[in-house]
Chain A
Amino acid sequence: MNEKPRDVKAGILNRGDYLNIVIQGLISGGVALLAFLLPVIAQYGTGNILGSLEGNEELLKLCRTYCFSTLAINEMLMAYVCKVKGSLAFFTKESWNNKALNIITAVGVLLQIGILVVPPMRSLLKLAVVGTVDIALILFIAVAGVMINAAITLAKERLDIKRERNL
Chain B
Amino acid sequence: MIAEQFASPLLLLLVAASVISIMTGEIVDGIIIIVVVLANVIIGTAQELSAEKSVEALRQINASTAVVIRDGKEVEIPAADLVVGDYVILEAGRVVPADLALVQTSSLKVNESALTGESVAVEKDCSEKSDEKTPLGDRRDKVFMSTLVEYGRGEGVVEKIGDNTEIGKISGMLHQIEKQETPLQKNLDSISKVLGIAGVILCVVMFACQIFIYRTPVIETLMISIAFAVAVIPEGLATVVTLVLTAGIQEMSKRNAIVKQIHAVETLGAVNVICSDKTGTLTQNRMTVVKWYLSGEAVEPEELPPDSKVFATLLEGFLACNDAKYSEETGEEIGDPTETAFIKYAKDKKLGYHDIMSGITRFDEIPFDSVRKMMTTLDRVERDGETKNISYTKGAIDSVIVRCDRILDGDGIREITNEDIFHATQSADIMSSEALRVLALAYREGDTVPQEKDMIFVGLGAMIDPPKEGVKETVDECHHAGIDVAMITGDHKITAFAIAKELDIATDISQSISGAEIDEMDPEEFRKNVLDYRVFARVSPENKVQIVQAFQSHGKICSMTGDGVNDAPSLKAADIGVAMGIGGTEVAKDAAEMILVDDNFITIKNAVMEGRNLFNNIKKSVVYLLRSNFGEVVLMASAIFAGLSSPLSTIQILWVNLLTDTAPSLALMWVRTP
Chain A contact residues, CB within 8 Å of chain B: 1-6, 8-9, 11-13, 17, 20-22, 24-30, 32-33, 36, 49-50, 53, 60, 63-64, 67-68, 71-73, 75-76, 78-79, 82-83, 98, 100-101, 103-105, 108, 111-112, 124-126
Contact = CB atoms under 8 A, between A and B. Distances in A.
Given A12-B184, A83-B620, A72 B482 contact: no
Nearest to B652: A68
Nearest to B186: A11
A98 B671 CA distance: 7
* Max chain B Cβ within 10 angstroms of own Cβ: one of A12, A30, A72, A104: A12
Contact of A68 (B631, B648, B661, B668): B648
B615 interface: yes
B23 interface: no
9 contacts: A12-B618, A13-B187, A20-B623, A29-B638, A49-B644, A76-B660, A78-B628, A100-B670, A104-B664
Contacts of B632: 28-29, 32, 71
Contacts of A111: 659
B59 interface: no
Given A1-B480, A5-B272, 13 more contacts: A11-B183, A12-B191, A21-B623, A21-B626, A25-B634, A29-B630, A50-B642, A75-B628, A76-B664, A79-B624, A101-B668, A104-B666, A125-B655
Given A25-B631, A72-B656, A53 B645 contact: yes
Contacts of A25: 626-631, 633-634
Nearest to A115: B655
Contacts of A50: 642-644
B671 A83 contact: yes
Interface residues of B, number: 61
Contact of B635 (A67, A83, A98, A124): A67
B663 interface: yes
A92 B626 CA distance: 24
B188 interface: yes
B631 A24 contact: yes
Interface in B245-278: 269-272
B160 interface: no
Contacts of A75: 628, 631, 656, 660-661, 664
Contacts of B671: 83, 98
Contacts of A108: 659-660, 663-664
Contacts of A6: 269-270, 612, 615
Contacts of B90: none
B660 A27 contact: no
Q: Which of B187, B627, B644 has the most CB of A within 10 A?
A: B627
Contacts of B629: 25
Question: Mostly helix, strand, loop or mixed at chain A's interface?
Answer: helix
B187 A12 contact: yes
B555 interface: yes
B170 interface: no
Interface in B178-227: 183-184, 187-188, 191
Contact of B627 (A20, A63, A64): A20
Given A12-B619, A82-B668, A100-B667, A1 B633 contact: no
B615 A67 contact: no
B66 interface: no
Contact of B270 (A8, A28, A78): A8
A66 to B, nearest CB: 9
A45 B276 CA distance: 72
A48 B409 CA distance: 113
Contacts of A68: 648, 652, 655-656
A28 B612 contact: no
B651 interface: yes
A100 B671 CA distance: 9
Given A6-B270, A12-B183, A12-B619, A64 B652 contact: yes
Given A6-B269, A78-B627, A98-B670, A30 B643 contact: no
Given A5-B482, A60-B645, A71-B656, A78 B624 contact: yes
Interface string B464-489: 00000000000001001111000000
Contacts of B555: 8-9
Contacts of A101: 664, 667-668, 670
A22 B664 contact: no
B664 A124 contact: no
Given A2-B480, A72-B656, A17 B619 contact: yes
A13 B615 CA distance: 11
B631 A71 contact: yes
A5 B270 contact: yes
B623 A13 contact: yes
Contacts of B626: 13, 21, 25
B622 interface: yes
B646 to A, nearest CB: 8
A124 B643 contact: no
A104 B615 CA distance: 22
Contacts of A53: 644-645
A126 B651 contact: yes
Nearest to B266: A12
B660 A82 contact: no
3 residue pairs, one from A and one from B, having the closest CB atoms: A29-B634, A25-B630, A28-B631
Q: Which of B28, B270, B660, B661 has the most CB atoms of chain A within a 10 A radius of its CB?
A: B660
A11 B480 CA distance: 23
A28 B623 contact: no
B557 interface: yes
Nearest to A27: B631
Contacts of B642: 50
Contacts of A63: 647
A125 B651 CA distance: 6
Contacts of A100: 666-667, 670
B62 interface: no
A83 B666 CA distance: 12
B609 interface: yes
B638 A79 contact: no
B656 A29 contact: no
A29 B667 contact: no
Contacts of A64: 647-649, 652
Nearest to A54: B645
Nearest to A103: B667
B628 A28 contact: yes
Interface hub of B269, B609, B668 (most chain A Cβ within 10 A)? B668
Contacts of A103: 667
Contact of A22 (B271, B618, B630, B638): B630
A83 B652 CA distance: 25
A104 B626 CA distance: 19
A72 B661 CA distance: 8
B635 A71 contact: yes
Contacts of A82: 620-621, 623-624, 627, 668
B664 A32 contact: no
Contacts of A4: 481-482
Q: Which of A4, A6, A105, A108 has the most CB of B within 10 A?
A: A6
Contact of A28 (B627, B644, B670): B627
A9 to B, nearest CB: 7
Contact of B647 (A11, A21, A22, A33): A33
Interface string B102-137: 000000000000000000000000000000000000
Nearest to B665: A79
Contact of A29 (B635, B661, B665): B635
A21 B630 contact: yes
B430 interface: no
Contacts of A28: 627-628, 630-632, 634-635
